[in-house]
Amino acid sequence: MKLLNDGNYKTRKGEKKGWKTFGLHLAPHKLAGRNVCSHASPGCTDACLNTAGRGIMHSVQDARIRKTKMFFEKKAEFLLQLRKEIISAEKRSEKNDWGACFRLNLTSDLPWHKLGIPDVFSHLQFYDYTKDEKRFRAFLSGELPDNYDLTFSRSELTPDSLVRELCEAGGNVAVVFRDRLPDEWQGIEVINGDEDDLRFKDPKGKIPGLVAKGLGKKDETGFVLEPNN
């Protein structure tokens, strides 16, 4: 069973900018009987992109559940295979003159830095979104590997004051909007987070704005915001 994929519609946009994203899809939240999204809010759970695109297929869902169970039940074997696939992905990228980058939390929110993956491949770029405030603050404080970039992900439970605080500290906070992106939110510039998935290339202290997709279009929890300008 292959762990990494070659990206989706959005991550492939980075190829035009010289980057190839390889991602890992696990079964989100408690779908596989283990919680891989410990900080997920109700709105995040309801609007999850797990079923977007090919994710709607039963075979894809079954594969994500198997990967998740393997991670928890055969972790050493899982990590060994993941390392081998990262090495292979890097070689494939070099043949196409792409920089290889890796997003291991496409549909999860696990602390990969604690498993040593970014450290083992210190010459490669890793990045993720997270709702774990403690982990994000550790990132801002320089406590995470230099090659592991994080973007905080706002939910309906995130105070506006926290968004401002994290951006003022030099972090980026992703915010989901309905229908279109505003120029700014809470006095903070909104940049287009749908243009590509290369969050580690974003200027700091900004809001990467995302337009609601899939089930998120029907959100009424406050996870999806109305554009204010």
Q: 148-201 pLDDT, tens per residue? A: 999 999 999 999 999 999 999 999 999 999 999 999 999 999 999 999 999 999
Q: What is the per-residue DSSP string for 91-135? A: HHHHHTTPEEEEES-SS----GGGGTHHHHTTTSEEEEEE--HHH
Using the predicted structure, report yes or no on whether residue 30 has a pLDDT greater than 80: no
Which comes out higher in pLDDT, residue 32 or 81?
81
Instruction: Tell which residue, 214, 200, 71, has the closest CA to residue 128.
Output: 200
What's the pLDDT at 105?
95
What's the pLDDT at 43?
65
Using the predicted structure, report yes or no on whether residue 31 has a pLDDT greater than 80: no
* Cα gap 189→93, rounded to integer Å: 33
Task: Determine contact, residues 23/115, Cβ cutoff 8 Å.
Answer: no
Q: Is the dihedral of CA 73, 77, 82, 85 positive or negative?
A: negative
**Structure token pair of residue 47:** 């609007």
Helix locations, 6-57, DSSP H: 42-46
- Helix axis angle, 58-73 relative to 75-95, nearest 10°? 120
Q: 93-133 pLDDT, tens per residue? A: 999 999 999 999 999 999 999 999 999 999 999 999 999 99
- Does the pTM surpass 0.85? The reply is yes
Segments making up each domain of the chain, as ranges:
4-216
- Within a 13 Å sphere around the CA of 69, how many CA atoms are in the beta-carbon half? 10
What's the pLDDT at 55?
46
Distances, alpha carbon 136 to alpha carbons 11, 95, 157, in Å: 22, 34, 16
207: helix, coil or strand? strand
* Cα gap 112→119, rounded to integer Å: 10
Which comes out higher in pLDDT, residue 49 or 208?
208
What's the pLDDT at 47?
64
**Structure token pair of residue 229:** 């300008």
What's the pLDDT at 29?
72
Q: 34-93 pLDDT, tens per residue? A: 888 888 777 676 566 554 555 445 667 788 899 999 999 999 999 999 999 999 999 999
